[in-house]
Structure 1
Amino acid sequence: MNPLLRFARRSAALVLLLPLCACALANIASEPAPQLFTLSAGHPAPSTANAAGRARVVVDEFAAPAVVDSARIVQRSGANELKYYADARWADRAPRLIQNLMVETMENSGRFAAVATRSADLRGDYELAGDIRQFAVDATDASSPAVRIELYARLVLENERSIVAAKSFSASVPVKGGGISAIVAAYDAGLRQVLEGIAIWADESARTAAAKTAQR
Protein backbone atom coordinates (compact mmCIF):
# COMPACT_ATOMS: atom_id res chain seq x y z
CA MET A 1 0.00 0.00 0.00
CA ASN A 2 1.14 3.50 -0.76
CA PRO A 3 2.76 4.98 2.42
CA LEU A 4 0.87 8.23 1.98
CA LEU A 5 -2.45 6.36 1.77
CA ARG A 6 -1.61 4.30 4.88
CA PHE A 7 -0.78 7.49 6.84
CA ALA A 8 -4.04 9.13 5.72
CA ARG A 9 -6.12 6.17 6.91
CA ARG A 10 -4.40 6.06 10.32
CA SER A 11 -4.92 9.80 10.77
CA ALA A 12 -8.61 9.46 9.95
CA ALA A 13 -8.98 6.66 12.53
CA LEU A 14 -7.35 8.83 15.22
CA VAL A 15 -9.66 11.71 14.43
CA LEU A 16 -12.67 9.41 14.85
CA LEU A 17 -11.38 8.12 18.21
CA LEU A 18 -10.77 11.56 19.73
CA PRO A 19 -14.45 12.43 20.33
CA LEU A 20 -14.97 9.03 22.01
CA CYS A 21 -12.01 9.54 24.36
CA ALA A 22 -13.12 13.07 25.20
CA CYS A 23 -16.62 11.81 25.94
CA ALA A 24 -15.33 9.11 28.34
CA LEU A 25 -13.17 11.62 30.22
CA ALA A 26 -16.05 14.07 30.46
CA ASN A 27 -18.33 11.41 31.94
CA ILE A 28 -15.77 10.45 34.60
CA ALA A 29 -15.12 14.08 35.51
CA SER A 30 -18.82 14.85 35.79
CA GLU A 31 -19.53 12.04 38.29
CA PRO A 32 -20.24 13.46 41.77
CA ALA A 33 -17.48 12.94 44.31
CA PRO A 34 -18.34 10.54 47.15
CA GLN A 35 -19.21 11.98 50.55
CA LEU A 36 -16.27 11.70 52.96
CA PHE A 37 -16.77 10.97 56.66
CA THR A 38 -14.57 10.79 59.71
CA LEU A 39 -15.25 9.67 63.29
CA SER A 40 -14.57 11.08 66.77
CA ALA A 41 -12.02 10.16 69.40
CA GLY A 42 -13.18 9.11 72.84
CA HIS A 43 -12.67 10.94 76.14
CA PRO A 44 -12.16 8.30 78.84
CA ALA A 45 -12.30 9.18 82.50
CA PRO A 46 -8.84 10.09 83.84
CA SER A 47 -7.07 7.75 86.22
CA THR A 48 -6.73 8.48 89.93
CA ALA A 49 -3.58 6.32 90.09
CA ASN A 50 -0.09 7.72 90.62
CA ALA A 51 0.99 9.74 87.59
CA ALA A 52 4.52 8.37 87.96
CA GLY A 53 3.28 4.98 86.73
CA ARG A 54 2.12 6.23 83.35
CA ALA A 55 3.38 4.19 80.40
CA ARG A 56 4.56 5.14 76.93
CA VAL A 57 2.58 3.28 74.29
CA VAL A 58 3.13 2.78 70.58
CA VAL A 59 -0.13 2.14 68.70
CA ASP A 60 0.13 -0.03 65.60
CA GLU A 61 -2.45 -0.38 62.84
CA PHE A 62 -4.82 -3.18 63.73
CA ALA A 63 -4.91 -5.98 61.16
CA ALA A 64 -8.11 -6.21 59.12
CA PRO A 65 -9.64 -8.45 56.46
CA ALA A 66 -9.35 -7.10 52.92
CA VAL A 67 -12.98 -5.98 52.79
CA VAL A 68 -12.43 -3.70 55.81
CA ASP A 69 -8.89 -2.60 54.92
CA SER A 70 -10.32 0.15 52.75
CA ALA A 71 -11.92 3.58 52.86
CA ARG A 72 -15.22 2.00 51.77
CA ILE A 73 -18.08 1.69 54.28
CA VAL A 74 -19.17 -1.93 54.63
CA GLN A 75 -22.65 -3.38 54.95
CA ARG A 76 -23.42 -7.00 55.80
CA SER A 77 -26.60 -7.64 53.86
CA GLY A 78 -26.79 -11.40 54.38
CA ALA A 79 -25.16 -14.20 56.32
CA ASN A 80 -22.43 -14.52 53.67
CA GLU A 81 -22.85 -11.29 51.69
CA LEU A 82 -20.99 -8.02 52.07
CA LYS A 83 -21.55 -4.79 50.13
CA TYR A 84 -20.15 -1.27 50.02
CA TYR A 85 -22.17 1.94 50.20
CA ALA A 86 -21.84 3.47 46.74
CA ASP A 87 -21.40 7.20 47.37
CA ALA A 88 -19.76 7.35 50.81
CA ARG A 89 -16.20 6.83 52.04
CA TRP A 90 -14.20 7.15 55.23
CA ALA A 91 -11.63 9.96 55.09
CA ASP A 92 -8.88 7.31 55.38
CA ARG A 93 -8.54 3.53 55.31
CA ALA A 94 -10.48 2.10 58.25
CA PRO A 95 -7.38 0.63 60.03
CA ARG A 96 -5.52 3.95 59.75
CA LEU A 97 -8.59 5.91 60.85
CA ILE A 98 -8.98 3.67 63.91
CA GLN A 99 -5.26 3.86 64.71
CA ASN A 100 -5.21 7.66 64.74
CA LEU A 101 -8.40 7.86 66.81
CA MET A 102 -6.95 5.33 69.26
CA VAL A 103 -3.91 7.56 69.76
CA GLU A 104 -6.11 10.62 70.26
CA THR A 105 -8.39 8.78 72.70
CA MET A 106 -5.44 7.61 74.80
CA GLU A 107 -4.00 11.13 74.81
CA ASN A 108 -7.38 12.54 75.85
CA SER A 109 -7.45 10.20 78.84
CA GLY A 110 -4.32 11.70 80.39
CA ARG A 111 -3.43 8.16 81.55
CA PHE A 112 -0.21 7.77 79.54
CA ALA A 113 3.20 9.44 79.54
CA ALA A 114 3.24 9.40 75.73
CA VAL A 115 1.24 7.83 72.91
CA ALA A 116 2.14 7.73 69.22
CA THR A 117 1.95 5.64 66.07
CA ARG A 118 4.90 3.53 64.97
CA SER A 119 5.83 6.12 62.33
CA ALA A 120 6.58 8.68 65.07
CA ASP A 121 9.61 6.60 66.15
CA LEU A 122 8.60 6.70 69.83
CA ARG A 123 10.52 4.36 72.11
CA GLY A 124 7.61 2.94 74.05
CA ASP A 125 7.22 0.69 77.05
CA TYR A 126 4.34 -1.13 75.38
CA GLU A 127 2.92 -1.72 71.94
CA LEU A 128 -0.84 -1.78 71.38
CA ALA A 129 -1.79 -4.00 68.44
CA GLY A 130 -4.67 -6.24 67.48
CA ASP A 131 -7.30 -7.17 64.92
CA ILE A 132 -10.40 -5.50 63.51
CA ARG A 133 -12.89 -8.37 63.65
CA GLN A 134 -16.06 -6.41 62.87
CA PHE A 135 -16.53 -2.94 61.42
CA ALA A 136 -19.73 -2.98 59.40
CA VAL A 137 -23.42 -2.18 59.29
CA ASP A 138 -25.37 -5.35 60.03
CA ALA A 139 -28.43 -5.09 57.78
CA THR A 140 -29.31 -8.78 57.74
CA ASP A 141 -32.53 -7.69 59.45
CA ALA A 142 -33.51 -4.71 57.29
CA SER A 143 -36.03 -3.53 59.86
CA SER A 144 -33.39 -2.98 62.56
CA PRO A 145 -29.91 -2.32 61.12
CA ALA A 146 -27.07 -1.81 63.58
CA VAL A 147 -23.39 -0.94 63.43
CA ARG A 148 -21.28 -3.73 64.90
CA ILE A 149 -17.69 -3.12 65.91
CA GLU A 150 -15.27 -5.60 67.47
CA LEU A 151 -11.58 -4.94 68.08
CA TYR A 152 -9.31 -7.54 69.63
CA ALA A 153 -6.49 -5.74 71.43
CA ARG A 154 -3.08 -7.00 72.55
CA LEU A 155 -0.75 -5.11 74.88
CA VAL A 156 2.83 -6.16 74.16
CA LEU A 157 5.89 -5.46 76.30
CA GLU A 158 8.26 -3.80 73.83
CA ASN A 159 11.59 -5.02 75.23
CA GLU A 160 10.58 -8.67 75.55
CA ARG A 161 8.00 -8.81 72.71
CA SER A 162 5.69 -10.70 75.06
CA ILE A 163 1.93 -10.23 75.34
CA VAL A 164 1.02 -8.98 78.81
CA ALA A 165 -2.74 -8.75 78.21
CA ALA A 166 -5.29 -9.39 75.46
CA LYS A 167 -9.01 -8.69 75.31
CA SER A 168 -11.91 -8.27 72.88
CA PHE A 169 -13.93 -5.04 72.90
CA SER A 170 -17.22 -4.74 71.05
CA ALA A 171 -20.20 -2.47 70.55
CA SER A 172 -23.52 -2.75 68.76
CA VAL A 173 -25.36 0.50 68.07
CA PRO A 174 -28.76 0.66 66.32
CA VAL A 175 -28.98 2.90 63.28
CA LYS A 176 -31.63 5.47 64.15
CA GLY A 177 -33.06 7.04 61.03
CA GLY A 178 -32.38 6.72 57.34
CA GLY A 179 -29.50 7.79 55.17
CA ILE A 180 -25.75 7.65 55.48
CA SER A 181 -25.62 10.33 58.22
CA ALA A 182 -27.55 8.08 60.60
CA ILE A 183 -25.17 5.21 59.80
CA VAL A 184 -22.09 7.34 60.47
CA ALA A 185 -23.59 8.55 63.78
CA ALA A 186 -23.99 4.93 64.89
CA TYR A 187 -20.38 4.17 63.88
CA ASP A 188 -19.25 7.23 65.84
CA ALA A 189 -20.99 6.18 69.05
CA GLY A 190 -19.86 2.57 68.78
CA LEU A 191 -16.22 3.30 68.02
CA ARG A 192 -15.92 5.87 70.83
CA GLN A 193 -17.25 3.27 73.27
CA VAL A 194 -14.75 0.66 72.09
CA LEU A 195 -11.75 3.03 72.04
CA GLU A 196 -12.49 4.34 75.53
CA GLY A 197 -12.69 0.78 76.83
CA ILE A 198 -9.35 -0.11 75.25
CA ALA A 199 -7.65 3.00 76.63
CA ILE A 200 -8.72 2.31 80.22
CA TRP A 201 -7.87 -1.39 79.90
CA ALA A 202 -4.42 -0.64 78.42
CA ASP A 203 -3.59 1.72 81.29
CA GLU A 204 -4.71 -0.74 83.96
CA SER A 205 -2.97 -3.68 82.25
CA ALA A 206 0.29 -1.72 81.89
CA ARG A 207 0.23 -0.76 85.57
CA THR A 208 -0.43 -4.36 86.60
CA ALA A 209 2.40 -5.63 84.40
CA ALA A 210 4.80 -2.98 85.76
CA ALA A 211 3.89 -3.90 89.35
CA LYS A 212 4.58 -7.58 88.69
CA THR A 213 7.92 -6.75 87.11
CA ALA A 214 8.88 -4.61 90.12
CA GLN A 215 8.17 -7.53 92.47
CA ARG A 216 10.57 -9.91 90.70
Structure 2
Amino acid sequence: MSLRKMLRAGALVLTLAPLGACALANVAGEPAPDLYVLTAPSPQAPDAAPAMRAQIVVEPFSAPAALDTARIVFQPSPNEIKYYAGARWSDRAPRMIAALAVETLHNTGRFPAVIGAGSAARTDLALTGDVRQFAAARVAAQGLGQTSTEARVVFFARLLRASDRSIVASREFSATAPSASGKMTDIVAAYDAALGQVLSDIALWTLDEGAKAWPKPASS
Protein backbone atom coordinates (compact mmCIF):
# COMPACT_ATOMS: atom_id res chain seq x y z
CA MET A 1 0.00 0.00 0.00
CA SER A 2 1.31 3.46 -0.92
CA LEU A 3 2.02 6.07 1.74
CA ARG A 4 -0.84 8.20 0.44
CA LYS A 5 -3.37 5.33 0.78
CA MET A 6 -2.09 4.53 4.29
CA LEU A 7 -2.57 8.15 5.37
CA ARG A 8 -6.08 8.26 3.91
CA ALA A 9 -7.06 5.01 5.70
CA GLY A 10 -5.67 6.31 8.98
CA ALA A 11 -7.60 9.55 8.64
CA LEU A 12 -10.84 7.59 8.03
CA VAL A 13 -10.29 5.51 11.18
CA LEU A 14 -9.68 8.63 13.24
CA THR A 15 -12.84 10.21 11.81
CA LEU A 16 -15.08 7.22 12.57
CA ALA A 17 -13.71 6.43 16.02
CA PRO A 18 -15.18 9.49 17.79
CA LEU A 19 -18.57 8.87 16.15
CA GLY A 20 -18.65 5.27 17.36
CA ALA A 21 -17.55 6.30 20.83
CA CYS A 22 -20.32 8.91 21.00
CA ALA A 23 -22.96 6.41 19.86
CA LEU A 24 -21.88 3.88 22.48
CA ALA A 25 -21.82 6.57 25.14
CA ASN A 26 -25.38 7.61 24.24
CA VAL A 27 -26.66 4.03 24.38
CA ALA A 28 -25.01 3.40 27.73
CA GLY A 29 -26.25 6.73 29.09
CA GLU A 30 -29.94 6.16 28.29
CA PRO A 31 -31.85 4.83 31.32
CA ALA A 32 -33.35 1.38 30.85
CA PRO A 33 -37.17 1.40 30.86
CA ASP A 34 -39.02 -0.01 33.85
CA LEU A 35 -40.46 -3.42 32.92
CA TYR A 36 -43.84 -4.58 34.15
CA VAL A 37 -45.61 -7.95 34.13
CA LEU A 38 -49.24 -8.88 34.69
CA THR A 39 -50.57 -11.91 36.53
CA ALA A 40 -52.88 -14.78 35.60
CA PRO A 41 -56.06 -15.16 37.67
CA SER A 42 -57.35 -18.46 39.07
CA PRO A 43 -61.05 -18.54 38.15
CA GLN A 44 -63.26 -20.90 40.08
CA ALA A 45 -65.39 -23.05 37.79
CA PRO A 46 -68.83 -23.98 39.13
CA ASP A 47 -68.91 -27.37 40.82
CA ALA A 48 -71.40 -28.58 38.22
CA ALA A 49 -69.13 -27.60 35.32
CA PRO A 50 -67.72 -30.71 33.62
CA ALA A 51 -64.02 -31.29 33.20
CA MET A 52 -62.96 -30.79 29.60
CA ARG A 53 -61.97 -33.75 27.47
CA ALA A 54 -60.50 -31.63 24.70
CA GLN A 55 -56.89 -30.49 24.64
CA ILE A 56 -56.67 -26.80 23.78
CA VAL A 57 -54.08 -24.51 22.25
CA VAL A 58 -54.09 -20.77 22.96
CA GLU A 59 -52.92 -18.75 19.98
CA PRO A 60 -51.76 -15.12 20.25
CA PHE A 61 -54.64 -12.72 19.72
CA SER A 62 -54.24 -10.41 16.74
CA ALA A 63 -53.89 -6.71 17.50
CA PRO A 64 -53.57 -3.46 15.55
CA ALA A 65 -50.04 -2.10 15.17
CA ALA A 66 -50.55 0.46 17.94
CA LEU A 67 -51.25 -2.34 20.45
CA ASP A 68 -48.86 -4.96 19.06
CA THR A 69 -46.00 -3.58 21.11
CA ALA A 70 -44.34 -3.81 24.51
CA ARG A 71 -45.08 -0.12 25.10
CA ILE A 72 -47.85 0.67 27.59
CA VAL A 73 -50.72 2.48 25.91
CA PHE A 74 -52.44 5.61 27.19
CA GLN A 75 -55.47 7.06 25.42
CA PRO A 76 -56.14 10.67 26.47
CA SER A 77 -59.12 10.67 24.08
CA PRO A 78 -60.94 8.04 21.97
CA ASN A 79 -59.10 9.16 18.83
CA GLU A 80 -55.59 9.53 20.27
CA ILE A 81 -52.98 6.99 21.31
CA LYS A 82 -49.85 7.74 23.32
CA TYR A 83 -47.36 5.65 25.28
CA TYR A 84 -46.04 6.01 28.80
CA ALA A 85 -42.40 7.11 28.76
CA GLY A 86 -39.86 4.87 30.44
CA ALA A 87 -42.26 1.96 30.97
CA ARG A 88 -42.67 -1.30 29.05
CA TRP A 89 -44.40 -4.63 29.34
CA SER A 90 -42.02 -7.58 29.59
CA ASP A 91 -43.15 -8.75 26.11
CA ARG A 92 -45.32 -7.57 23.25
CA ALA A 93 -48.88 -7.27 24.54
CA PRO A 94 -50.46 -10.05 22.38
CA ARG A 95 -47.73 -12.54 23.34
CA MET A 96 -47.97 -11.61 27.02
CA ILE A 97 -51.77 -11.94 26.94
CA ALA A 98 -51.61 -15.35 25.25
CA ALA A 99 -49.16 -16.66 27.86
CA LEU A 100 -51.41 -15.43 30.66
CA ALA A 101 -54.45 -17.01 28.97
CA VAL A 102 -52.65 -20.38 28.92
CA GLU A 103 -51.95 -20.05 32.63
CA THR A 104 -55.50 -18.92 33.41
CA LEU A 105 -57.11 -21.87 31.63
CA HIS A 106 -54.67 -24.20 33.38
CA ASN A 107 -55.56 -22.63 36.74
CA THR A 108 -59.19 -23.75 36.40
CA GLY A 109 -58.00 -27.35 36.80
CA ARG A 110 -60.63 -28.50 34.30
CA PHE A 111 -58.58 -28.90 31.10
CA PRO A 112 -56.51 -32.04 30.39
CA ALA A 113 -53.92 -29.94 28.57
CA VAL A 114 -53.51 -26.26 27.74
CA ILE A 115 -50.58 -25.33 25.53
CA GLY A 116 -49.22 -22.30 23.76
CA ALA A 117 -48.84 -21.83 20.03
CA GLY A 118 -45.93 -23.60 18.35
CA SER A 119 -46.18 -26.86 20.26
CA ALA A 120 -46.24 -30.11 18.28
CA ALA A 121 -48.72 -31.66 20.71
CA ARG A 122 -52.09 -32.83 19.40
CA THR A 123 -54.89 -30.36 20.09
CA ASP A 124 -58.65 -30.53 19.68
CA LEU A 125 -59.66 -26.88 20.12
CA ALA A 126 -57.95 -23.54 19.57
CA LEU A 127 -58.64 -20.29 21.42
CA THR A 128 -57.82 -17.11 19.52
CA GLY A 129 -59.33 -13.71 18.71
CA ASP A 130 -58.66 -9.99 18.49
CA VAL A 131 -57.38 -7.42 20.98
CA ARG A 132 -59.76 -4.51 20.44
CA GLN A 133 -58.64 -2.34 23.34
CA PHE A 134 -55.81 -2.68 25.84
CA ALA A 135 -55.15 0.78 27.16
CA ALA A 136 -55.29 3.16 30.07
CA ALA A 137 -57.81 5.91 29.39
CA ARG A 138 -58.64 9.26 30.89
CA VAL A 139 -62.13 9.54 32.34
CA ALA A 140 -63.93 12.59 33.70
CA ALA A 141 -65.19 12.62 37.26
CA GLN A 142 -68.83 13.63 37.11
CA GLY A 143 -69.55 17.10 38.43
CA LEU A 144 -66.01 17.68 39.75
CA GLY A 145 -64.26 18.98 36.65
CA GLN A 146 -61.43 16.51 37.29
CA THR A 147 -60.15 13.44 35.49
CA SER A 148 -58.88 10.04 36.55
CA THR A 149 -57.39 7.04 34.77
CA GLU A 150 -58.83 3.59 34.22
CA ALA A 151 -57.62 0.50 32.38
CA ARG A 152 -59.84 -0.77 29.58
CA VAL A 153 -59.58 -4.26 28.11
CA VAL A 154 -61.74 -5.48 25.23
CA PHE A 155 -61.16 -8.82 23.47
CA PHE A 156 -63.16 -10.66 20.83
CA ALA A 157 -62.56 -14.37 21.41
CA ARG A 158 -63.08 -17.29 19.06
CA LEU A 159 -63.08 -20.97 19.93
CA LEU A 160 -62.18 -23.13 16.90
CA ARG A 161 -61.97 -26.80 16.06
CA ALA A 162 -58.28 -27.39 15.49
CA SER A 163 -58.87 -29.93 12.73
CA ASP A 164 -60.69 -27.66 10.26
CA ARG A 165 -60.55 -24.21 11.92
CA SER A 166 -64.35 -24.02 12.04
CA ILE A 167 -65.74 -21.62 14.63
CA VAL A 168 -67.37 -23.32 17.61
CA ALA A 169 -68.28 -20.12 19.45
CA SER A 170 -67.34 -16.44 19.57
CA ARG A 171 -68.00 -13.57 21.94
CA GLU A 172 -66.73 -10.16 23.02
CA PHE A 173 -65.36 -9.73 26.55
CA SER A 174 -64.63 -6.41 28.24
CA ALA A 175 -63.73 -4.99 31.64
CA THR A 176 -62.54 -1.73 33.16
CA ALA A 177 -60.68 -1.04 36.40
CA PRO A 178 -59.87 2.33 37.99
CA SER A 179 -56.34 3.35 38.84
CA ALA A 180 -55.81 4.53 42.41
CA SER A 181 -53.54 7.33 41.16
CA GLY A 182 -51.51 8.45 38.19
CA LYS A 183 -48.47 6.49 39.39
CA MET A 184 -47.24 3.82 37.03
CA THR A 185 -47.55 1.08 39.65
CA ASP A 186 -51.23 1.94 40.20
CA ILE A 187 -51.89 2.10 36.46
CA VAL A 188 -50.32 -1.36 36.01
CA ALA A 189 -52.45 -2.64 38.91
CA ALA A 190 -55.54 -1.37 37.08
CA TYR A 191 -54.42 -3.15 33.91
CA ASP A 192 -53.93 -6.32 35.98
CA ALA A 193 -57.44 -6.13 37.45
CA ALA A 194 -59.17 -5.48 34.11
CA LEU A 195 -57.20 -8.14 32.24
CA GLY A 196 -57.73 -10.62 35.08
CA GLN A 197 -61.50 -10.17 34.84
CA VAL A 198 -61.50 -10.67 31.07
CA LEU A 199 -59.24 -13.74 31.21
CA SER A 200 -61.37 -15.29 33.96
CA ASP A 201 -64.53 -14.75 31.91
CA ILE A 202 -62.88 -16.20 28.79
CA ALA A 203 -61.66 -19.27 30.70
CA LEU A 204 -65.10 -20.10 32.09
CA TRP A 205 -66.72 -19.43 28.70
CA THR A 206 -64.17 -21.70 27.01
CA LEU A 207 -64.90 -24.42 29.53
CA ASP A 208 -68.64 -24.19 28.88
CA GLU A 209 -68.47 -23.92 25.09
CA GLY A 210 -65.70 -26.50 24.83
CA ALA A 211 -67.74 -29.06 26.75
CA LYS A 212 -70.60 -28.56 24.28
CA ALA A 213 -68.30 -28.92 21.27
CA TRP A 214 -66.42 -31.92 22.68
CA PRO A 215 -68.97 -33.79 24.78
CA LYS A 216 -68.17 -36.78 26.91
CA PRO A 217 -69.16 -39.97 25.07
CA ALA A 218 -72.18 -41.78 26.40
CA SER A 219 -71.28 -44.67 28.68
CA SER A 220 -72.00 -48.10 27.27
Structure 2 distance, partners of 1:189, 1:52, is 26
Q: Which of 206, 213, 220 is 1:209 aligned to?
A: 213
TM-score, normalised by the number of residues in structure 1 = 0.89
Equivalent residues of 2:135, 2:152 under 8 A apart: yes
- State the alpha-carbon separation in 2 of the partners of residues 156 and 213 from structure 1: 20
Residue 164, structure 1, aligned to residue 168, structure 2 = yes
List aligned pairs for 1:89-108, cutoff 5 A: 89-108=88-107
The sequence identity of aligned pairs, in percent, is 48
SS at match of 1:166: strand
Partner of 1:84: 83
- State the partner residue of 1:127: 126
Residue of structure 2 equivalent to 1:4: 3
Answer yes or no: is 1:57 the counterpart of 2:56: yes
Q: Does 1:30 align with 2:29?
A: yes
Answer with 71-80 or 190-199: which moved more: 71-80
**TM-aligned CA distance change 1:213 to 1:165, over 3 Å:** farther
In the alignment, the residues of structure 2 paired with residue 66 and residue 39 of structure 1 have an alpha-carbon distance, to the nearest angstrom, of 21
* 3-state SS, counterpart of residue 183 of structure 1: helix
| Counterpart-to-counterpart distance in 1, 2:16 and 2:215 | 74
18-27 or 131-140, larger mean C-alpha shift: 18-27
Equivalent-residue separation in structure 2 for 1:24 and 1:193 (angstroms)? 45
Going from structure 1 to structure 2, the CA distance change for 1:51 and 1:113 (only over 3 Å counts) comes to farther
Deviations 1:44-68 (A, max 9, x none): 1034247564331111110000111
Q: How is 1:64-83 mapped onto 2 (pairs within 5 angstroms)? A: 64-83=63-82
Distance 2:49 2:82 in 1: 47
In structure 2, do the counterparts of structure 1 residues 91 and 53 end up closer, same or farther at CA, with 3 Å as the change threshold?
Answer: closer
Mapped to 1, the partners of 2:166 and 2:216 lie a distance apart of 14
Match of 1:173 in 2: 177
Alignment CA distance shift 1:181-1:52 (3 Å): closer
Distance 2:162 2:17 in 1: 59
Contact 1:58 1:116 in 2 (8 A): yes
- TM-superposed CA distance for 1:136, in Å, is 0.7
Residue 19 of structure 1 deviates from its aligned partner by 2.4
Q: Deviations over 1:171-215 (max 9, x none)?
A: 11111112211111001111110000000000001112234998x
1:84-103, Cα deviation, whole Å (9 max, x unpaired): 11201111111110001000
**Alignment: residue pair count:** 212
Could you say what secondary structure the match of 2:205 adopts?
Answer: helix
2-structure distance, mates of 1:41, 1:30: 35
Q: Return the offset for 1:124.
A: 1.7
CA contact (8 A) 2:52 2:110 kept: no
Q: 2:148 aligns with which of 135, 144, 149?
A: 144
Q: Is the 8 A contact 2:57 2:116 kept in 1?
A: yes
One-letter amino acid of the counterpart of residue 162, structure 1: S
Moved over 4 A (4+): 50-53, 211-214
1:27 CA displacement: 1.7
Displacement of 1:164 in angstroms is: 1.3
Contact 2:51 2:110 in 1 (8 A): no
**Inter-partner Cα distance in structure 1 for 2:33 and 2:160:** 38
Q: Between 133-142 and 79-88, report the one with greater CA deviation.
A: 133-142
For residues 137 and 53 of structure 1, the distance between their equivalents in structure 2, rounded to whole angstroms, comes to 35
Q: Which runs of 5+ in 1 are unaligned?
A: none
